[in-house]
Structure 1
């Protein structure tokens, strides 16, 4: 998709009505001992159930964060919002070693003891059943070269100084001097339906859709699509979380109801079974 997608979309699944950005990660599958696969469903972040929202009614499980500093303060540094046409990726499906995965502190997993579990992050898939599922975490770089909206590898125009977690990222280098929002994804994968199907040999049974059974190659895509100056207004404000806008809470951003979020969907162009057991992963 080319151009300003913020002006091309007709609806958004996001709580904020001016956010038409595209957010993507791979799909997770459970591999049964008999060799068949079943797609792991997502579920919503429990924190989205506050301030008038019923989280259980939200379809999907990806939560997107735009932080300026960390979760405790917005700091006093100017944050430059992304520009129309901006895109980037983080991680690589070709990463196939533990050391390679550890080299990206912003790409991690949490074995959820409850849906509110945070911390205890690992660079690979959890090696035992998780009581409340697996959370995949993607922290994008926040230092921009100030010139290019994209690059051939979709990464060189950005520079990562992330320290992992939601800690404030390090200073930007002179090659990439412009501080942009720190974008992060949290995707909640509901693996609980498979807890009694764990392989008898104890092997880890989850795989990404590109046949990654270790989790080392986790990656994500981002395509900016906020309308007008809405994201810049939010970055210039001191609001955090629901105080930026929520049903019943007037903030700097406009919001919509869960019902309106769920009405927005892309018409399927490929016929595939997303609920049943598959003999092989899609595309293989």
Structure 2
């Protein structure tokens, strides 16, 4: 209770920052220190951005700023790691090809496309950002999504994981929880929004989710209150990942039944199993200092680096395998699946 009291007192400071920044690609390979800690290789391919101390075993005591020599993120004191699964195209002949990524608007040139990261105190459309939030603490980590979801009912718990079919590069309307079932002229954007209510005690939990919660009623966008079990409001961490599907827009290459041809690297062909991982690694109080200012996106002070400097940071693959050629099966032996897969495939 003392820890929660101290956090609540800290939240009385004025803060109205909305942080939006790009991270270039760090590495793409089969490693996952949350779901498969220490396992080399992990079950499926991920694309990772952030600090270069990322590895297969990241204990909560790990000093990410101290052990990192660089970060692929625009804020040079952010040595956090952010990662998602990788999208593949499945051709009519059953072979798979990795879908490349695009940098978001305003971040052209980011190596590998990477992802855009947000820390929001209020909904993205609310530039006032009046809510009081606290930054995460060293050792904090979380996971969101259900990697075995194959239906809307399975995914209903994670309604803030969505896709946008980009008819234009600036499209932001028409979100869905399943893969878009039509040609998306400029690509598919995956949006992944983490919970915003913390229990105030645990930096992690066995499922990497239970220490966090969405609002008790309503949503983050409707400013719903946090439940009593998770009373500490944090900023909402959000990823935007743009998949460059333009080279796969010829419907003559799609399945003969007219369904969409995309599949996640762990075999989900529905899109309902979208998920993301986050390990906090900002240096000292740099994130809280930014959250305590009045700023928006790139005006949010802090120490920032150019895209060229971000791109200099990279990491060599530990897992040596082909993930980019036309493949007969997905790395790890997966095939496209429209049904729930055996839980043993995903060890926690």
State whether TM-score is above 0.5.
yes
CA distance in 1 between counterparts of 2:78 and 2:209 reads 22
In the superposition, the TM-score normalised over structure 2's length comes to 0.74
* Cα pair distance change 1:59/1:110, threshold 3 Å: same
> Secondary structure of the residue that 2:294 maps to in structure 1?
coil
- RMSD over aligned CA atoms reads 1.6
Instruction: Answer yes or no: is the 8 Å Cα contact 1:140–1:182 preserved in 2.
Output: yes
* Cα pair distance change 1:97/1:57, threshold 3 Å: closer
CA distance in 2 between counterparts of 1:89 and 1:6 reads 21
Greater Cα shift, 59-68 or 182-191? 59-68
Matches within 5 A, 1:85-104: 85-104=139-158
Matches within 5 A, 1:247-266: 251=301, 253-266=302-315
Match of 1:69 in 2: 122
Match of 1:248 in 2: none
Instruction: Answer yes or no: is the 8 Å Cα contact 2:144–2:158 preserved in 1.
Output: no
Match of 1:182 among 219, 232, 236: 236
CA distance in 2 between counterparts of 1:115 and 1:266 reads 29
> Secondary structure of the residue that 2:158 maps to in structure 1?
coil
Instruction: Answer yes or no: is the 8 Å Cα contact 1:69–1:168 preserved in 2.
Output: no
Match of 1:207 in 2: 263
> Secondary structure of the residue that 1:113 maps to in structure 2?
coil
* Cα pair distance change 1:267/1:168, threshold 3 Å: farther
In the superposition, the TM-score normalised over structure 1's length comes to 0.91
Structure 1 position 58, deviation (Å): 4.1
Instruction: Answer yes or no: is the 8 Å Cα contact 1:61–1:189 preserved in 2.
Output: no
Unaligned runs of 5+ in 2: 1-57, 334-348
Alignment coverage as a number of residue pairs: 270
Q: Say whether residues 1:56 and 2:109 are aligned partners.
A: yes
Match of 1:216 in 2: 272
CA distance in 1 between counterparts of 2:332 and 2:183 reads 27
CA distance in 1 between counterparts of 2:323 and 2:102 reads 15
Instruction: Answer yes or no: is the 8 Å Cα contact 2:167–2:185 preserved in 1.
Output: yes
Structure 1 position 272, deviation (Å): 2.0
Q: Say whether residues 1:268 and 2:327 are aligned partners.
A: no
Give deviations 1:129-176, integer Å, cap 9, x for gaps. Answer: 110111111100010000000000000000012967x82542111110
> Secondary structure of the residue that 1:274 maps to in structure 2?
coil
Structure 1 position 9, deviation (Å): 0.9
Matches within 5 A, 1:33-182: 33-48=92-107, 55-71=108-124, 72-161=126-215, 167-182=221-236
CA distance in 1 between counterparts of 2:196 and 2:330 reads 34
Structure 1 position 191, deviation (Å): 0.6
> Secondary structure of the residue that 2:249 maps to in structure 1?
helix
CA distance in 1 between counterparts of 2:193 and 2:261 reads 25
Match of 1:16 among 53, 57, 75: 75
> Secondary structure of the residue that 1:138 maps to in structure 2?
strand
Structure 1 position 116, deviation (Å): 1.0
Give deviations 1:189-246, integer Å, cap 9, x for gaps. Answer: 00110112223321211000110000111110000001110100111111011111xx
Greater Cα shift, 23-32 or 270-279? 270-279
> Secondary structure of the residue that 1:228 maps to in structure 2?
coil
Match of 1:234 among 268, 276, 290: 290
Unaligned runs of 5+ in 1: 49-54, 245-250
Structure 1 position 76, deviation (Å): 3.3
CA distance in 2 between counterparts of 1:168 and 1:22 reads 28
Structure 1 position 57, deviation (Å): 4.6
